[in-house]
A and B are shown apart, each in its own frame.
Chain A
């Protein structure tokens, strides 16, 4: 199911829109990177998609259903969230953290069935963290925590997966690992994946599409290799950029790297 956003506007204070008249079409089975400087409205847009904020006007529809008109429980079957950090109040094991994705599907007073537990096992397997199931979530490394949170979103069985800076605070190996996982997930499961990021490089490695957000409006969007270019990046971050091409890497790829140039802001 593709995601269609039409005329979306929102602000925290009256007459001060953060997102204004936003139109976007995000296709299914792809990873879409959302780029923009601090305060451009990335997080606000993600929160709108997840129903954590109520838009002033506009629609967000997934496969024809308007997400803004659904109940919290209904929306959770369509859109899942992977936060940057999760801070459970008590030391639960990973399996328990992932199981939380199934709670809203349980009738009041009911317990999870073996089917729910199967979903948990499957999600952990898909993320390759089956052996972490009984470990306390708070004892995991940053990369492992991120994987557990992605597993939780998978167990929610929602078509849309929204990630807030999935590579933040991870070491470079864990970043590459995480991005590769997302790419694989979109291809295999056909999910619509949207990630906010501060790294154009990460978009180039892992995403199919890029949406550049500036002052609550779409500056440019489209296939990632065309959209992320020096001109757009300069306009987006207010500083000249160059995009360099690497030689052929030992893994066979040739990738592009975005570097902000020193000196005066544009």
Chain B
């Protein structure tokens, strides 16, 4: 391990350990997960032509949360927790889309309603898991994890988060122009030579992968996926190819800043998910009141 002598102090092995084994992984995870959630949100909003969708609202987060909680209940190893989060995240978004399709209506609200139903279902299932969990041991870890925190982040989490996020965001980058075509609506996209169903399938898979792997490490961190894409759109317009990059940058910076804020509050370390909600809600409200219609 390198000696970190860059600020003139002599460093001890423990300092190096703190930086490389605790701080650095936490910083990298905050960047990857925050950026990833923001990019997923931007992708979902564009392909569903709906500025109000986000991984939380489509049920992805709730599904992934349930999947992870279930695996934690049975004390599965970390990689199985992540796999379970991913599977249930995909299942949840599939259910949302099935519910929306079953109504045979095309309004954007139908997708939101489907998401609300699915989120409620998985919320209830998480409740069942909590009741079944051992109150001395498993339950506290599930509860703290659900509130969202990077406090337990470990270097080994990077082994799954880094490749999964890179793969998911890489796919979104490859599809960046086709995703823009979908913003015009399915009929128009199709006459312009882009198959909406095919693109949507790939994008939902990629964005769910990124979200679920994030949720499986740091729990339910809401609002980043909803609010950051709007800020990124105000910053530089809605074209997805550049929105993706701006969303990642903003999501990463915001999450990292919030996590640092949390660590520097002395009294108690607030969960990350609580903090993003405390900050995300007023930002969303300001956006809503400022323009009346935040998406146009």
Contacts and interface: CB of A to CB of B under 8 A. Distances in A.
> Does chain A bind chain B?
yes
A106 B295 CA distance: 28
Contacts of B140: none
Contacts of A79: 191
A72 B46 contact: no
A76 B191 CA distance: 5
Interface residues of A, number: 36
Contacts of A112: 177
B46 A83 contact: no
A100 B46 contact: no
B177 A106 contact: yes
A105 interface: yes
Contacts of A62: none
Contact of A72 (B180, B183, B194, B241): B194
Nearest to A49: B191
Interface stretch (B208-216, B232-240, B251-259): B232-240
Interface residues of B, number: 30
Contact of B237 (A93, A152, A156): A93
Nearest to A96: B239
B185 interface: yes
A92 interface: yes
A241 interface: no
Interface in B171-196: 173-175, 177-178, 180-181, 183-185, 187-188, 190-195
Interface in A63-115: 72-77, 79-81, 83, 86-93, 96-97, 100-101, 103-106, 108-109, 111-112
Nearest to A50: B191
Contact of B177 (A73, A80, A103, A138): A103
B187 A52 contact: yes
A86 B188 contact: yes
A29 interface: no
B200 interface: no
A206 B174 CA distance: 43
B87 interface: no
Contacts of B160: none
B16 interface: no
B51 interface: yes
A192 to B, nearest CB: 15
B50 interface: yes
B23 interface: no
A87 B185 contact: yes
Nearest to B175: A108
Nearest to B238: A90
Contacts of B233: 90
B46 A89 contact: yes
Kindly list the 5 A-B residue pairs having the minimum CB-CB distance in the complex, ordered from nearest. Answer: A104-B193, A76-B193, A90-B238, A89-B49, A81-B191
23 contacts: A72-B194, A72-B195, A73-B193, A75-B191, A76-B192, A76-B193, A80-B191, A80-B192, A81-B192, A83-B187, A83-B188, A86-B184, A88-B183, A89-B183, A90-B46, A90-B51, A92-B237, A103-B177, A103-B180, A104-B194, A106-B177, A111-B241, A152-B192
Interface of A: 50-52, 72-77, 79-81, 83, 86-93, 96-97, 100-101, 103-106, 108-109, 111-112, 138, 152, 156
Interface of B: 45-46, 49-51, 173-175, 177-178, 180-181, 183-185, 187-188, 190-195, 233, 237-239, 241, 295-296
